[in-house]
Amino acid sequence: MKSAIYPGTFDPMTYGHLDIIKRAANIFDELIVGVLDNKEKTPLFSVDVRVNILKEATKDLPNVKVESFGGLLSDYCKSKGIFVVVRGLRAVTDFEYELQMSQINRKLSDNKLDTVYFNTSLKYSYLSSSSVKQIAQFGGDLTDFVPGFVADMLLEKFDQKN
Ligand code: ADP
């Protein structure tokens, strides 16, 4: 069985992420979406909430599993016996960082981990979790960016903050 992992912060998941998940799930037998529990970042949503959003959004995709992980991606992959990492590329600006990460992961895994990139679908090429949070902060329309239940969670979060 060919498994891959799609790691990320997903704070929160957008339609851009979901598009990559669906396309990768069509290619691999099993796709694990790995939600990074990074103690150095202060995400808007807790890791449990980010995992639950992804579980809800992917509930109709039987070969997609959502899990959280901490520490090094290469260690997590080793513990699961997975050697393919999926990442998305929006623009050239993503490329430099992604290339560096993939080379580090390869080095840390004794050249076992490979990274596969999916080009963004054009309609999501401008979409990022940060821009979604900015729009939500000012009460903008999120219809084309995140599922309705995520938009509600974002607006509620910023209502509490204001
Ligand atoms: P990071 O993991 O760098 O903290 P994210 O959790 O936002 O960032 O994204 C996880 C992965 O999804 C990254 O590879 C990122 O480039 C990709 N991604 C984010 N938004 C999009 C999008 N709109 N289209 C395609 N790929 C995307």
Active site residue 90: yes
pLDDT tens column, 19-56: 999 999 999 999 999 999 987 779 999 999 999 999 99
Q: What's the domain range around 14? A: 3-122
Q: How far apart are CA 3 and CA 133, in angstroms?
A: 31
Note whether residue 105 is domain-resident. yes
Q: What is the CATH number of the domain that holds 91?
A: 3.40.50.620
Banded pLDDT at 91 (limits 50, 70, 90)? confident
CA of 45 to the centre of ligand 1 (A): 16
List residues bridging with 68 in a β-sheet. 35
Q: Read off the pTM.
A: 0.95
- Asked if 21 and 33 touch (Cβ cutoff 8 Å), the reply is yes
pLDDT tens column, 47-85: 999 999 999 999 999 999 999 999 999 999 999 999 999
Is residue 117 lining ligand 1, measured as CB closer than 6 Å? no
Q: Enter the tokens of residue 30.
A: 């099993």
Domain count, the chain: 1
Q: How far is CA 59 from CA 36, 51, 65, 90, in A?
A: 20, 12, 9, 25
- 147 preceded by a cis bond (ω within 30 of 0): no
Query: Which atom number of ligand 1 is nearest to the Cα of residue 86?
Result: 14
Active site residue 157: no
